[in-house]
Amino acid sequence: MGSVRVWGLAMTATRARILRGLSLPGAGGLATQLVMRARHRHLIEAMQHPPVDAGAAAPIPPPVPEGSSDPLALDQRDFVRQVVQILETHRVAGDFDRLAIFAPPAILAQLRAEMPSRLAKVIAAERSGCAIYLSETELQDVLRTELATPKA
């Protein structure tokens, strides 16, 4: 039987860091890292519309079509889906067996809602918080410590 392959995810609404090849506590070496940023397509689209009233002092935002949501919320949803899709693709390929996640509570909830059940089953550690701005070494240490802590 091969060694356990562990990945870590630190995420916010606009940025994600996926650490690949994360070793367990006590092991040396740095994991490789994939950094992703949200594209803000819906927000850019909303901001590119010309003002409705040419005589207005400030541009008037375009009306939000019925059934739509806030452009920021739509961008966040799309970004979460993109991250989940990448993780699921790599899980299916057998690139990792365990996953540790650090994200703010709203992002954790969205990740859980978008995740297929098979991906959710490999989550070994999950913590609410923001670890995205830690250095690479600090982030690895935090994820390793979280993995070493038994689930409650």
pLDDT tens for 8-31 read: 999 998 889 998 887 655 555 556
Distance from C-alpha of 1 to C-alpha of 148, rounded to nearest angstrom:
21
Q: How far is CA 26 from CA 107, 112, 141, in A?
A: 30, 30, 10
The most confident of 47-56, 83-92, 138-147, by mean pLDDT: 83-92
pLDDT in tens, 58-99: 555 555 554 457 777 788 888 899 999 999 999 999 999 999
